[in-house]
Amino acid sequence: MTYIYPELNSSQINTLVNEINHYSLSNGLVMYKDLENLKNETAVAPVTLYPTILPKKSFEKAVAIQKAYNELYANILLDNTNWLDTVIKSISEFDADFTGKLYELYLKYQNDTTYKKQNKELGIFRNDFLLHENKDKTYDLKEVEFNTISVSFGALSTKVSALHSFLHESGYYKGEVKSSFDERNLEVPVSDSLANIASSIKYGVDTFETQQNIKNTIVLFVVQPNERNVFDQRLIEYELFNKYKIKAKRITIDEVEGKINKKQDSYLYYNDDVISLVYFRSCYSPNDFQSEKSWNNRLFLETSLAIKTPTLKMQLAGSKKIQQLVSSPEILEKFISDKETSNNLLNTFVKIHPLDDSAEGKYAKELINQNDSKVLDNFVLKPQREGGGNNIYKSDIYPFLKENIPDEKEWAGYILMELINAQPTKGNTILRNNQLYNVDILSELGIFGTVLIDTDTKKIEYNSYDGWLLRSKLSDSNEGGVAAGFGCVDSIALV
């Protein structure tokens, strides 16, 4: 797409950068500078100078379909045929170190009779999309992945979109040459993800307090020990306090033993405070579990009456394998009975192949074994992992599998996904550590959503759309983790 971004002279750019720095530092659009110096040095989060232009129709479609996605994952969890358990059990064999461990904990939790179980589960999700360019130059949003644990940037998204809206409305995008940004009808929306995520957590707290007939409970944030993106989490915590007077405590998974107690009432306690909800911003990757103690602590939290966001089972529902399976119409219709809804969902999926012993799996393995770069250049190979940096792209797929996993049976722990043909945007600029990068960028749209389900009554009690996020990265880097250092937070201008 070629849209015109502002063309500012160097003095106008300097003014703009100064405005961005002041706004970001005043409003918490920041991250810790580096891991060595987590204590005090913050830096303005990497951002784009301008919001990235996106077709309004595509954006609205992504927003409109979020509740259907929420429902799909809720129904997978509420299903009473053990479908999820069976699938997870089968991939556990091929990813023993992580999926296998989570599944083992989940089984231990199920068999635990010492503590009462919580029948409510709160899911705060983020569904990620790229804009696929078709051969005829039309565009369709296609799903990258559905995240069920530790979805990030809900708070910074509100901040960066508010920043871009402020700059736009204040005239800082007006250059010497008239651009699309000068036109009054260009809409620069603000994402309400920060407020909505906090209100979803509040819904979880209220649910617990009503159910247990108790007041003044607190929320436990389980966080990573070395987190640069702390402020994205703390902004949610402050929103909870400022709006609802709900207090929160932050601990790492290894600090659970020693700081958190569980009594015979099955409640979790932080000192004398009852914890109504455990909100995980950690425990999604093997690195988060440094020792057996970490795993034991995770189980300790699960086997309690506190509501977990997410439960182990809900976390496992976010596996790449589940995404691959529900992309098939036969499986999808098991969970979404309304034809129109399932068709809308299907339209957002690209082809995802299994690499197991099924007929389709054999076909995909054959595809890989032919090692034809023309074919494999259209695919990405994904293991059952979260958090970036795990995928294998294009011509790396064949040598990776041949060298690392000689036994083809074990390829079943991976999925082979068609690459989405996302086209770079020209004309925007990334600001990172006070350096400007006028580069082509690729943008990924995330849509936040919440469900609260009751596993006894098998009902979805709450289903909401919670705002959006745009992350952009240099178009020549395959992965774009903002905290990991390749990407930045962005926002959208709708045309």
Q: Which residues bind ligand ADP (CB under 6 A)?
A: 128, 130, 144-145, 350, 380, 382, 386-388, 390-391, 417, 419-420, 444, 479-480
User: Min. distance of Cβ 424 from ligand ADP in angstroms?
Assistant: 12
**DSSP codes, 310-375:** S-HHHHHHTSHHHHHHHTSHHHHHHH---HHHHHHHHTTPPPEEE-SSSHHHHHHHHHHHTT-HHH
User: Min. distance of Cβ 163 from ligand ADP in angstroms?
Assistant: 23
Identity of the residue, 288 or 386, whose beta carbon is nearer to ligand ADP in the bound complex: 386
Q: Are 491 and 403 in contact, with CB atoms under 8 Å apart?
A: no
Q: Are 260 and 181 in contact, with CB atoms under 8 Å apart?
A: no
User: Min. distance of Cβ 362 from ligand ADP in angstroms?
Assistant: 22
Identity of the residue, 412 or 442, whose beta carbon is nearer to ligand ADP in the bound complex: 442
Residue with tokens 């082809």: 351
User: Min. distance of Cβ 310 from ligand ADP in angstroms?
Assistant: 15
Q: Are 247 and 241 in contact, with CB atoms under 8 Å apart?
A: yes
Dihedral pair phi/psi, residue 461, rounded to 5°: -90, -20
Identity of the residue, 194 or 469, whose beta carbon is nearer to ligand ADP in the bound complex: 469
User: Min. distance of Cβ 487 from ligand ADP in angstroms?
Assistant: 8
Identity of the residue, 17 or 419, whose beta carbon is nearer to ligand ADP in the bound complex: 419
Q: Are 320 and 415 in contact, with CB atoms under 8 Å apart?
A: yes
Q: Are 66 and 116 in contact, with CB atoms under 8 Å apart?
A: no
Identity of the residue, 328 or 390, whose beta carbon is nearer to ligand ADP in the bound complex: 390
User: Min. distance of Cβ 128 from ligand ADP in angstroms?
Assistant: 6
Identity of the residue, 129 or 279, whose beta carbon is nearer to ligand ADP in the bound complex: 129
Between CA 188 and CA 457 the distance in angstroms is 42
User: Min. distance of Cβ 442 from ligand ADP in angstroms?
Assistant: 7
Between CA 336 and CA 69 the distance in angstroms is 10
Between CA 294 and CA 310 the distance in angstroms is 17
Buried/exposed 373-404: b ≥16 CB within 10 Å, e otherwise: eeebeebbbbbbbbbeeebbebeebbeebeee
Identity of the residue, 144 or 376, whose beta carbon is nearer to ligand ADP in the bound complex: 144
